[in-house]
Structure 1
Amino acid sequence: MDLDLAQVRAFVATAEHLHFGRAAGELFLTQQALSKRVARLEDVLGVRLFDRTGHSVRLTAAGERFLEPARRALAAADDAIMAARRDDRPLRLDVWGHLFDPMRTIRRVVARRPDLPIEPNLKRGLSEVVTALRRGDGDVGFGRVHALDEPLPDGLAHRLVRLAPMAVVMGEAHPLAGAEALRPADLGGTTVWFPAEIGKLDFLDRFLAEFGLSGEFGGVNLGLDYFLDHLREEPRHVSLLPADVAVPADVRSVPLTEPVPLYSWSLIWRAREQHPVLRSLLAEFAAAAREHGWLEYDPAVHWLPATELDARPVRRPVPRPG
């Protein structure tokens, strides 16, 4: 029996989204075309892979058994394509959002496949990355994809790859430094500080507005060390960082809860003219997300800006057998 990899890819995308419309969007197919591919695969295998009841989609027992081998088959096929088409030029990965240390996520993904030829480049922001992609000067970008002054250009695709819980950071002299956890409401009597203009801090702007907090912005963003030095020296100020960013012993990082704010990291790339390494990179991000729970989201526990939920529904990890 020969498997059609396009059909297998349609199955895996649907299994990861548990939604035919979103899976079709990821693969740049119509929902009808995606449904036909899944149906043909079920005919070839002689089993049902999904239970479809009204608007609900879930894997059958056969679908759960088939999912991991299907992922491995696609990864092997992508590796074969990459090997046949590989040239000497590495994949150009443009990264932004440096204050929140995006490289810690890149490191964890690249460590899974150190053989992937990737060349990271630092960019100032999303607008610069979009310009580089449109000109063909970059292959893929990694950072926070948020609202710009104009919509993302046609022909660019993006995928949410990580939701990072945020923490409050402050100097050890701050009155809240001894807390084990803090709610956003607990920050009402203090000032949230960031070394940049609010227009460049889309996530923080929305966070402050949502929870009625006050912010102070000024100075030049000179990097994480300067940022932490300011918090040490100014006991009235707190700020936010992803909870897994390492801070020195004299700076406190306190988890946020009720709700837990999540910072979204995405990949963005040209939908056509893709570098041959891109599929493998996307597969490694997906594997890391499954392994580390990077896409876990519960609206009763977490907070995301409403515009992100509207624009990009969060994918929940696919339940595994047992």
Structure 2
Amino acid sequence: MDLDLAQVRAFVRTAEELHFGRAAATLAVSQQALSKRIARLESLLGTSLFQRGGHGVALTDAGLRFLEPARRTLTAADAAVAAVARTDRPLRVDVWGHLFAPMRTLALVAERTEAPVLVLGHGRDLPSVTAALLHGEIDAAFGRVHPPLPAGLAHRLVRLEPVDAVLSRAHPLADEPALRPEQLRDGVLWAPAALDRLDFLHRFAERFGVRRRAEGTNLGLSPYLAGLAAHPDRFALLPADLPLPRTSALRSVPLVEPTPLYAWSLLFPAGSAHPGLPALAAACASGARDRRWLDHSPSRDWLPDAP
């Protein structure tokens, strides 16, 4: 029996998501195409792999037995492809989280790496980047990782970066030397997109009771800051060392008790890596060690993903 790897991958992704629409989206295929692949696989195997009903999707007993061997099959296939892939091509790395300026950290890492030339791209968000990784369109990515991640991907924490509150100079709290996050509770959190798509900002708002939000369109840092300066009741959260425009009518105020930390990670396929990826990962570890990027205290700092 010869298995079609596209069908096996469709099964594994659906088993992980337990939702045909989400699984199809991560594979960048239509839901109809995904369903056809799974139906052909079930026909080949002579058994149903999923129970489909009004309450969602669940694995059958046969599906449960098939899942782990199917995952190992995909891992072996990806490793086989990687073994004969060109070793001299550049390392393709996407970044996301652009308003938080991932290039500042990645540039410091790139100075240290002995990996082949990096080719940098820009992913829209974490879901689009994970899809590109799983399709082999890129080799690694750099940004803020949060669960759930699809199976087959791994990440390494690189930097925990303190976040400041950025305010219009007309804001009532703009002259404070430092602020506790709870002092922003009555302000308006200025978000560059729908808050449910911005995991860090969403968690901050929920944790510290910020109920008022204003959402815009991510047109880059300058329009984002202009929208902040024009509304004295708004505040933004940005990296503490991100330089503001010299003529800005804004002020960056440190947050304390606790200090929010934005976590940057290197994201890559597990078990199927570009030969230059170990050098990039080593440079990330070296930068973190020498610059103390991972220093933090649970009593002093706030990490959204911490229990």
Fold shared by both chains (TM-score > 0.5): yes
What is residue 279 of structure 1 aligned with on the other side?
278
- Is residue 95–residue 122 contact of structure 1 (8 Å, CA) maintained in 2? yes
What is residue 134 of structure 1 aligned with on the other side?
134
State the distance in 2 between where 1:146 and 1:101 align.
18
Sequence identity percentage? 49
Provide Cα deviations, 1:116-146, integer angstroms capped at 9, x if missing partner.
4111100101111111111111100111111
State the distance in 1 between where 2:208 and 2:143 align.
24
- Please state how far the C-alpha of 1:106 moved relative to its aligned partner: 0.7
Q: Structure 1 unaligned segments of length 5 or more: list them.
A: 1-84, 311-322
What is residue 119 of structure 1 aligned with on the other side?
119
State the distance in 2 between where 1:185 and 1:270 align.
38
What is residue 108 of structure 1 aligned with on the other side?
108
Matches within 5 A, 1:48-59: none
Matches within 5 A, 1:154-303: 154-249=151-246, 250=248, 251-303=250-302
State the distance in 2 between where 1:210 and 1:137 align.
36
Kindly provide the amino acid, as one letter, of the partner of residue 124 in structure 1. R
Cα distance change on mapping 1:309 and 1:219 into 2, 3 Å: closer
Kindly provide the amino acid, as one letter, of the partner of residue 287 in structure 1. S
Provide Cα deviations, 1:237-278, integer angstroms capped at 9, x if missing partner.
111001111112422111100000011111111112211111
State the distance in 2 between where 1:226 and 1:171 align.
14
- Is residue 110–residue 116 contact of structure 1 (8 Å, CA) maintained in 2? no
- Please state how far the C-alpha of 1:293 moved relative to its aligned partner: 1.2
Kindly provide the amino acid, as one letter, of the partner of residue 185 in structure 2. G
- Please state how far the C-alpha of 1:191 moved relative to its aligned partner: 1.4
Kindly provide the amino acid, as one letter, of the partner of residue 194 in structure 2. E
State the distance in 2 between where 1:87 and 1:154 align.
25
Provide Cα deviations, 1:189-232, integer angstroms capped at 9, x if missing partner.
32111121011111111111111112313221101000111111
State the distance in 2 between where 1:237 and 1:134 align.
38
State the distance in 1 between where 2:275 and 2:201 align.
36
Kindly provide the amino acid, as one letter, of the partner of residue 105 in structure 2. T
Kindly provide the amino acid, as one letter, of the partner of residue 130 in structure 1. T
**Alpha carbon RMSD of aligned pairs, Å?**
1.7
Kindly provide the amino acid, as one letter, of the partner of residue 122 in structure 2. L
Cα distance change on mapping 1:86 and 1:136 into 2, 3 Å: closer
- Is residue 88–residue 116 contact of structure 2 (8 Å, CA) maintained in 1? no
- Is residue 261–residue 303 contact of structure 2 (8 Å, CA) maintained in 1? yes
- Is residue 93–residue 118 contact of structure 2 (8 Å, CA) maintained in 1? yes
- Is residue 170–residue 237 contact of structure 1 (8 Å, CA) maintained in 2? yes
State the distance in 1 between where 2:137 and 2:115 align.
23
State the distance in 2 between where 1:152 and 1:188 align.
31
Kindly provide the amino acid, as one letter, of the partner of residue 272 in structure 1. G
Provide Cα deviations, 1:282-310, integer angstroms capped at 9, x if missing partner.
111111111111111211100012xx225
State the distance in 1 between where 2:172 and 2:184 align.
11
Tell me the TM-score normalised to structure 1 length.
Answer: 0.66
Q: State the secondary structure of the residue aligned to 1:294.
A: coil
Q: State the secondary structure of the residue aligned to 2:200.
A: helix
Q: State the secondary structure of the residue aligned to 2:162.
A: strand
State the distance in 2 between where 1:245 and 1:188 align.
23
- Is residue 231–residue 237 contact of structure 1 (8 Å, CA) maintained in 2? yes
- Please state how far the C-alpha of 1:114 moved relative to its aligned partner: 7.3
- Is residue 193–residue 215 contact of structure 1 (8 Å, CA) maintained in 2? no
Count of residues in Structure 1 that have an aligned counterpart in Structure 2:
221
State the distance in 2 between where 1:217 and 1:132 align.
31
Q: Are 1:88 and 2:83 an aligned pair? A: no
Kindly provide the amino acid, as one letter, of the partner of residue 96 in structure 1. W
What is residue 19 of structure 1 aligned with on the other side?
none
Kindly provide the amino acid, as one letter, of the partner of residue 282 in structure 2. A
